[in-house]
Amino acid sequence: MNKSIQIQCPQEILLGLHLDAEQFSSLVAEAAALSLFREGKLSSGMAARWLGMPRAHFLLKAMREGNASLLEDNEDDFNRETSLL
């Protein structure tokens, strides 16, 4: 079940960004998903489902636009990833 939230946004912001309400909603959802993923509060799979895109596409977006790192620089991550080879 999806829930909706309402965000108050002055018309000047929409005009300044050259966006309509639906485009602004998508922009805010994407920014929130990237931020929550980067903070470790949302998995990549959940974020991808929220945004309606494949997980691989979300991960690429997170690395390119969200400055997210996909792995911590530690031995556990290294062992987990190398075991997949």
pLDDT, averaged per 10 consecutive residues of the chain (85 residues), comes to: 87 95 94 91 92 91 76 62 57
What is the span of the domain harbouring residue 35? 11-83
Give the count of domains, the chain: 1
- Examine residue 4 and state whether it is found in any structural domain, yes or no: no
- Examine residue 45 and state whether it is found in any structural domain, yes or no: yes
- Residue 27 region, left (φ>0) first, then alpha (ψ -120 to 50), else beta? alpha
- Examine residue 52 and state whether it is found in any structural domain, yes or no: yes
- Examine residue 56 and state whether it is found in any structural domain, yes or no: yes
- Examine residue 53 and state whether it is found in any structural domain, yes or no: yes
- Examine residue 6 and state whether it is found in any structural domain, yes or no: no
- Examine residue 2 and state whether it is found in any structural domain, yes or no: no
- DSSP H helices, 1-85, are 11-17, 21-38, 44-51, 55-64, 75-83
- Examine residue 38 and state whether it is found in any structural domain, yes or no: yes
